[in-house]
Amino acid sequence: MARTSKTGALDEASEGVSPQSGTPSAGRMPWTRPMPWTSSMRWTPPMPWGMRGFAPEDSRPGDIPIAKRGDREITGDDILAVARQHLNEPYVLGARAPMGNPNWKGPWDCAEFVSWCLYQASRILFGTEPRGDPVRADAYTGYWAQQCREADCTVPVVDAVATVGAILLRYPLPGAIGHIVYSDGHGGTVEAHSSKFGVIAGKVQGRRWDTGILVPGIRYFQSGLEIEPEPPVGVIRLTHPLTRSDFVKEIQRRLIKLGYAPGTDDGVYGPQTAHAVTQFQADKGLVADGEVGPSTRTTLGL
């Protein structure tokens, strides 16, 4: 789940080429080293989409075998197709999705949605603790951040934006949640967005992302488009050193007027102000990430 209580920290392949997605990105896949988390992966029988039929000569030393369903590799398109089946379903912050239940229709939160769709398409459990038990698995953006670093499967945001079924992650800040979405490879997303909007097909542009992720064991293809994501302008968030400005003072005064507690209106965007923003966002059905971007600014009336 993408919630604040964890510890740790809208928006068929043939001959190596996907007819839906264009150029394969397998040659640039970053997981060439053994993955430390794979030793804890335990597949629950039966394993209908497992690694059967994998030929050793198909891989380089240290590679993670591509998951298969029968003789067909699982691709980013497959995961995205699962995700799209759940558009318009409800979002609840902190909701927990049973990874082993293929009939689940929500509610979702963002991390549970991404991990569940991945597991349903590939039987790969990622971004959860525990890591090898789909019955007890609980997803969280902080786990995604930790495990993608351990697996060395991060990619630049610009590459993830142009890769079908890749993942875009905003790390959780102290006292706030992160956010995680699927990229459609064409500048769009499929995501469990917020309680106001539910599961949506959103956009990458104008939003802040920390990293892209290509999950080991999935065959990804790039769309062939050159998509340079436009970063958001004027996002206020927790930084080091802390941000101090007159606009932060306006945020604080507005929060106080609305009954929230950012501390004093000293113009410093610290943890107390970020927490008040998070509470405001949650109450208004926004992504409760503690960052004041365009949507939060508009909802605040600033």
CATH number at residue 126: 3.90.1720.10
Give the torsion through C-alpha atoms of 146, 288, 248, 240, to 10 deg.
-10
Same domain, yes or no, for 144 and 49? yes
Same domain, yes or no, for 197 and 251? no
Give average pLDDT by consecutive 10-residue segment, the chain, 302 residues. Answer: 40 32 37 32 29 31 79 96 98 93 96 98 96 94 96 95 97 84 97 94 92 97 84 79 90 93 91 90 87 89 90
* Predicted pLDDT at 291: 87
Q: What is the CATH number of the domain that holds 248?
A: 1.10.101.10
Assess if residue 238 is contained within a domain: no
Same domain, yes or no, for 265 and 155? no
* Predicted pLDDT at 181: 98
Contact 165, 220 (CB under 8 A): yes
Exposure class string for 119-155: b at 16+ Cβ within 10 A, else e: bbbbbbbbbbbebbbbeebbbbbbbbbbbbeebebbb
* Predicted pLDDT at 56: 31
Assess if residue 43 is contained within a domain: yes
Assess if residue 273 is contained within a domain: yes
Assess if residue 18 is contained within a domain: no
Assess if residue 3 is contained within a domain: no
Contact 196, 286 (CB under 8 A): yes
Task: Among 213, 228, 253, identify where a domain stops.
Answer: 213
* Predicted pLDDT at 72: 94
Same domain, yes or no, for 177 and 86? yes
* Predicted pLDDT at 91: 94
* Predicted pLDDT at 242: 87
Assess if residue 1 is contained within a domain: no
* Predicted pLDDT at 31: 32
Contact 47, 150 (CB under 8 A): no
Same domain, yes or no, for 52 and 147? yes
Task: Among 167, 198, 213, identify where a domain stops.
Answer: 213
Same domain, yes or no, for 106 and 195? yes
* Predicted pLDDT at 15: 28
For 161, the enclosing helix (H) or strand (E) is helix 157-161
Same domain, yes or no, for 272 and 153? no
- Judged by DSSP in three states, 215 sits in coil
Contact 122, 65 (CB under 8 A): no
Contact 214, 207 (CB under 8 A): no
Assess if residue 233 is contained within a domain: no
Same domain, yes or no, for 178 and 126? yes
> Omega of the bond prior to 46 within 30 degrees of 0, cis?
yes
Same domain, yes or no, for 153 and 293? no
Same domain, yes or no, for 185 and 262? no
Same domain, yes or no, for 151 and 46? yes
Exposure class string for 250-279: b at 16+ Cβ within 10 A, else e: ebbebbeeeebebeebebbbbbebbbbbbb
Q: What is the CA radius of gyration of the chain?
A: 20
Number of structural domains (the chain) is 2
* Predicted pLDDT at 229: 75
Same domain, yes or no, for 182 and 134? yes
Assess if residue 98 is contained within a domain: yes
Q: For residue 144, what are the domain limits?
A: 26-213
